[in-house]
Amino acid sequence: MLNEGDLFAHAWDNFKYLNIYIPKYTGGEWSLFTAYAYYPSLSCVEDNIDGVFYSSIRWGFGAHSELEDGQEWSSVITHEVGHWLDLRHTFENGCSAPGDLVDDTPYTTGGSIEVEGCFNNDLSCEESTNGENYMDYNHDCKKMFTVGQVERMTAALHLPARSNLWSTENLIATGCASASASIEKEVENNILSVYPNPANSVVHFNLNAAPESIIVSNALGSIIQIDIDGSLIYTLDVADLPSGIYFYQVDFGSSSENGKFLVQ
């Protein structure tokens, strides 16, 4: 945790890492903002001033903290990483086009943090709002992104300011992948796609090798075993599953692959 001084003097290479700062002070004074982040910007990355900034008033440091018993503000980081991946607030431009630049988020008004309630500003633009969206300001309800937002974040990862982070070379350089892993091995991934994500009714597993097992579990570890018949395409019915994040592991004998998907 940083106390005083220039935060960027402590920055790790922005081309290699997402820097998340949690300062106690800025400019020698209490950090009295909530949080902010930079949209993808090559100049910010080149100047090594990119990242997410999360104030001590929300994570509980000192008498000036606004954190109260029973509150948790971890969704703030998710919200700010959304900005870092080029998402706007759902209430951007209010009821006017182009809104937040994502087609499947309904127009809404807003702009002030709502600590309670999931439907603040509902029907403010004559349509039901998406109050559970991480990019809204309904604090206690944040839990999802829309398909359009996921597509926009995925596109942001291919921008010059973000694309190196997940390159094979950088994953090896930062210790996230084995130096023995080749580009060919990455491309010859056994899983072609797991979709849709988020899902409402079914999740499809498209593979390019026959699996030995496919196991799906929820956050509490409860397991769903998918019956294997030697196919390369499997469909999991999730219509009756509770909303939340689910994790999958696909075993191919000599290797296995893991991931997650969201059920709305």
Question: Above 70 in pLDDT, residue 80?
Answer: yes
Q: Is 169 a catalytic residue?
A: no
What are phi and psi for residue 76, nearest 5 degrees? -60, -40
Interatomic CA distance for residues 16 and 30, integer angstroms: 30
Q: What is the CATH number of the domain that holds 194?
A: 2.60.40.3080
Question: Above 50 in pLDDT, residue 78?
Answer: yes
pLDDT at 174: 87
pLDDT at 56: 73
Residue-number span of the structural domain to which 241 is assigned? 189-263
* Distances 159 to 39, 134, 139, 148, 173 between C-alpha atoms, Å: 11, 22, 29, 17, 20
Residue 207 within any structural domain of the chain:
yes
Residue 13 within any structural domain of the chain:
no
Q: What's the structural domain count of the chain?
A: 1
Instruction: Give 140-175 pLDDT, tens digit per residue.
Output: 788 899 989 999 998 998 899 999 998 878 888 888
Mean pLDDT of 110-137: 88
* Active-site residue, selected from the candidate residues 80, 126, 184, 186: 80
Unique residue bearing structure tokens 């599953």: 241
